[in-house]
Structure 1
Amino acid sequence: MQSLTIVSLLFVFFVEVFGGFTTTKVGPQPIWNATHTDKLRQDLLLNYDKFARPTQHYNQTIVKFGMTLRHFDLNEFKSQLTVHAWIRMVWTDEKLKWNPEDYGGLSVVRLADHEIWQPDLFLYNSATSTAVGHYANTHFLVYENGEVLWVPPCQFTILCDLNLKYWPFDEQTCQMGFGSWTYSGDLIDLELYDNQSTIEQELIIESNEWKVLDTAIYKTTLYYKCCPEPYVKINANVTIARRSPSYRAVIITPAFAIIVLILATFWLPPNAGEKIILNGCIAVIISMFLLYFTQKIPAMGSHTSLIMIFYSNCFYIVCCTMIGSVVVLWISKTKHTSPVPWTIKKPLTGTLGKWLGLNVYIQQQEKKALSCFIFADLTLKTPNVLVSVC
């Protein structure tokens, strides 16, 4: 037992004496196959806080903003425009600077979106609570001078005030407003990338129903009563027009046919029973079109479509025409003992009747009156015969 203790003490003594001459390296040991990119990433991201703005709190971060339109789709019933676009943002990160000579001439590095700070730009009039980076799981390009380039593909769903008064020949203008959610203009300033004044459309995929007429992108600065500092906003406007060749054949051509059919009911003789059949067919056609419009056009209180007003008014005219035809048929085919009242007959056989196109009936009444006068001259002594004839 004593010998074991003596051996242990001797071991500790030799370790304390001879161990002081050996040197140990403190810190992370380099990987044997590490590249210059690995070393640069380790040096840049060590103790990097991605939630802190990468500059002093009194300095300003300038973010350059650009947009490239890829595709869009409009939902009339929800008043929403869905835009597929590529957003281009460039800013300078003071924490991501290095000397390329220290890393084998490496001047650019790719970093993931969850590794470094990014501006909290938000679509103010978004129909959903989706930020810019929600669909942007893409990498950043970081250059030696600290410049960061980020081009994420995004999908925006915005609220748009639609005016369907001239449907299907309507044009719609929708606006997208981008700005920082928590930083004022003193901390994050937005600028247009490469002095861009319109949204780029070189890579656009055309829509089957809509075409782009005009785009615009510009910067505005807002001041609110609550706060003295400015708030910067980037507005992107898109003006689109509906492609309507198919609607001309489906809606406009039947409209002319309905007008001709309605006029045809007035050209038929008053006592023609076919008028009721024709009016009934027209009413069925108009009802089918009105049901079709309810599937294509949302009910809007302020902007009622003119085409719907036209078809509904045609339906009113057809209904009134059918009622008038029934009354005329009842009068013409039912025997009445009393003649037409003088107050009604006099205007219809005068100037008003000529304006209404009743010249044929007026001439018949004049011939009948003339024959009555001639017959009266021949039968003055028998007035009862005159009354029975005239």
Structure 2
Amino acid sequence: MRLLECIAALLLLCQWAPRQPILTAVSALGQPQMKMAEKNLIKQLLQHYDKKSRPVIDADPPYGTPKIERRKEKHANSSTIPIQQVTVEFGLRLVQILDLDEMEQVLTTSMISLYEWTDYHLRWEPEDEDGIMFVHIPTKDIWLPDIALYNYADERLEERRDVAAKVHYTGLVEWHPMAIYKSACEIKIKFFPFDKQVCWLKFGPWTYDGWRVNISYYHNMTKFDLEEMIDSPEWTILSHKAKYNEEVYPCCPEPYVDITFWIWIRRSTAFYTFILILPCFLLSSLTLVLFWLPPETPAKMVLGMNIFVAFFLLMLLLEKQTPSASDSFPLIGQYYCLNMGIITLSTFLSVIVVNFHFRGDNRQEVPYWLKKLAIQHGSRLLFVNLNRKPPASGLVPSASRANSTPAGNSDRRQQRRGVGGGGDAGGSRCYEDLPMQPTGASASAITSPGYSLHAGNSSPHYAPSYHGRAAAAAAAAAASPSDRRRPVNDAAGTSRSGGGGGGG
């Protein structure tokens, strides 16, 4: 039994003997990791850190914060006192222009905010901390500059994403959070959709004055950083810049500083060309077709109303793209209104022309003032020559006004009402207001027994009898347009025509 126990002990001893150096080596290698130098460094840095106070030290540079001389009063001759100043370098890296809302006049951009400043409470020697050159600390545990967007137009309370800050052993803090800024931007829509807009973003310390927290360009960069820029499908950047501003208000001697970023953008017109511009030109072409249609057709009015409705729909599309409180109206909208006015006027005139066409001249004659306005003044406006010689025919010329008498003038007025009037004994007179007398077969038809001779107070005239109206109308319709003349009364009361028709 003792022999077996000795053998078992030897076997166990041989089994565990090779593992002892390995465990010792693992323990030796793991010992530096158990120090946790970075964790201890962060705890040591934040042990007595107060994020509510500015990270300044009263010692002289390079171990302390730089000081400036501050005036006690606003006037230039006042005494000064030294004050520590924290300088924050600030810049913007533009990622993308997300949207420009014309209705709300808000520019939405995706940015990377670039911050850099020196925190004199977060400094250490790398030799004492196992060569650690920098650490990452959550921003909720350290002091942050209160640089804010002045022209803020967002309902959100925070526009930046929460990211950690990179702290170097010299106290230099780098913080590059992602942010989506919504800034107010005044929109000019006069030349929509070929417009150019100018927007600006004003950043500066909201609470601190320029003597305590100053702001400067990030790495002397006086414009946007476009290294990670993503092109916008709607807007193209024309130019951009940044400007440092310092303003002193009447209340206080302290200056307040800010950096304003300006950006000039132009709208891409490819989409609006097919939505607003091309339909506009096509409808304008249909407006010209509207004047080519015959004046008596009712389709002219229907087409005009359809074009009017189409332009009204384009106005509704334009209304959705433009702010209602704008101080100007787009030129393309004014062009829409002009076309709608022309179409309205054309439709109104078409109604008058159709009314004249179907009513004819059976009810009443054209008023004298309208005829004078259309023939005399209208001919001058349209460059129409009315002094041409009439063609040779059997028409009877009108009597001269020089030989007319007051009785003849009275007869002339009666002739305009369809009553024959007497004139000179041997002369003849035709209607000036009505078409000339017929010739040939038309005259014989009109002076047929269907017409009877009547004698008025002044002179005889022809009037169709009740039974002869149908025959006279049929004969007038069968005659050619050039032969459709009315009978002319002479002083003797007989009817004459170009072919010498007989009396009634």
For 1:369 and 1:346, the matched residues in 2 are separated by 23
Kindly provide the amino acid, as one letter, of the partner of residue 230 in structure 1. P
Q: Which amino acid aligns with 2:429?
A: P
Offset, 1:85: 0.4
Query: How far has the Cα of 1:47 moved from its partner?
Result: 1.3
The equivalences for 1:53-132 within 5 A come to: 53-56=54-57, 58-72=83-97, 73-128=99-154
Correspondence for 2:46: 45
> CA, structure 1 residues 128+91, in 2 after alignment: closer, same or farther (shift >3 Å)?
same
**Per-residue deviation, residues 64-110 of structure 1 (Å, max 9, x unmatched):** 01110011221122111111100111111111111111111111111
Name the residue aligned to 1:5: none
In 2, Cα distance between equivalents of 1:224 and 1:130: 29
1:292, distance to aligned residue in structure 2 (A): 1.9
Contact 1:276 1:322 in 2 (8 A): yes
Question: Relative to 1, partners in 2 of residues 1:247 and 1:367: Cα closer, same or farther, differing over 3 Å?
Answer: farther
Picking from 342, 351, 355, the partner of 1:317 is 342
Identify unmatched segments of 5+ residues in structure 1: 1-30
Cα shift readout 1:145-185 (whole Å, capped 9, x = no counterpart): 11111111111111111111111111111111111111000
Query: Contact 1:372–1:389 (CA<8 Å) still a contact in 2?
Result: no
Give the corresponding residue for 1:295.
320
Q: Which runs of 5+ in 2 are unaligned?
A: 1-31, 59-82, 400-423, 437-504
* Equivalent runs, 1:177-192 vs 2, <5 Å: 177-192=202-217
Contact 2:396 2:429 in 1 (8 A): no
> How far apart are the structure 1 equivalents of 2:88 and 2:124?
21
| 1:304-342 CA-partner distances (Å, limit 9, x unpaired) | 111112112211221121111101221232134543334
State the 1:381 CA deviation. 4.7
* Residue 262 (structure 2) pairs with residue 216 (structure 1): no
Match of 1:281 in 2: 306
Instruction: Specify which structure has the bigger relative contact order, considering alpha-carbon pairs within 8 angstroms and separated by 6 or more residues.
Output: 1
What's the counterpart of residue 8 of structure 1?
Answer: none
TM-score scaled by length of structure 1: 0.82
1:249 to partner: Cα distance: 2.4
Aligned position for 2:472: none
CA distance in 2 between partners of 1:385 and 1:141 (Å): 107
| C-alpha displacement of 1:138 | 0.8
* Change in 2 beyond 3 A, CA 1:32/1:150: closer
Q: Distance in 2 between matches of 1:251 and 1:356?
A: 35
- Do the aligned residues in 1 keep the contact of 2:396 with 2:430 (CA within 8 Å)? no
Measured in 1, the distance between the counterparts of 2:228 and 2:323 equals 32
Of 352, 365, 383 in structure 1, the residue corresponding to residue 429 of structure 2 is 383
Deviates most, 311-320 or 152-161: 311-320
The aligned amino acid for 1:175 is W
Change (3 A) 1:51 1:66: same
Task: For 1:372 and 1:137, locate their aligned partners in 2 and report how far apart those are by CA, in whole Å.
Answer: 104
- Partner residue, 1:201: 226
CA deviation digits over 1:103-123, x for unaligned, max 9?
111111111111110101110
In the alignment, is the contact (CA less than 8 A) between 2:93 and 2:228 conserved in 1?
yes
* Letter of the 2:146 counterpart: D
Structure 2 counterpart SS, 1:238: strand
Aligned partners of 1:368, 1:40: CA distance in 2, in Å? 116
CA distance in structure 2 between the partners assigned to 1:374 and 1:44 by the alignment: 122
| Residue 134 (structure 1) shift | 4.8
2:239 partner letter: D
- Please give the TM-score of this superposition, normalised by the length of structure 2: 0.65
- Structure 2 CA distance, aligned partners of 1:126 and 1:388? 79
Determine if contact 1:372/1:386 at 8 Å carries over to the other structure. Answer: no
Amino acid corresponding to residue 116 of structure 2 in structure 1: V
Secondary structure of the equivalent of 1:349? helix
Aligned: 1:36 with 2:37: yes
TM-aligned CA deviation for residue 388 of structure 1? 6.0
CA-CA distance at 1:281 after TM superposition:
2.0
- State the partner residue of 2:366: 340
> Where is the helix percentage greater, Structure 1 or Structure 2?
1
Identity of aligned residues (%): 29
The 8 Å contact of residues 211 and 243 in structure 1, kept in 2 or not, is answered as: yes
SS in 2 for 1:38: helix
2:142 is equivalent to residue 141 of structure 1: no
Larger radius of gyration: 2
Say if 1:272 and 1:130 are closer, same or farther in 2 by CA, change over 3 A. Answer: closer
CA distance in 1, matches of 2:141, 2:203: 23
SS in 2 for 1:220: strand
Does the Cα contact within 8 Å between 2:311 and 2:336 map onto a contact in 1? yes
Taking the TM superposition and a 5 Å limit, the aligned residue runs for 1:232-311 are 232-311=257-336
Q: Which amino acid aligns with 1:383?
A: R
Taking structure 1 as reference, are residues 94 and 385 closer, same or farther at Cα in structure 2, changes over 3 Å only? Answer: closer
Distance 1:130 1:63, change over 3 A: farther
Partner of 2:219, secondary structure, is: helix
Q: Are 1:327 and 2:352 counterparts?
A: yes
Q: 1:6 corresponds to which residue? A: none
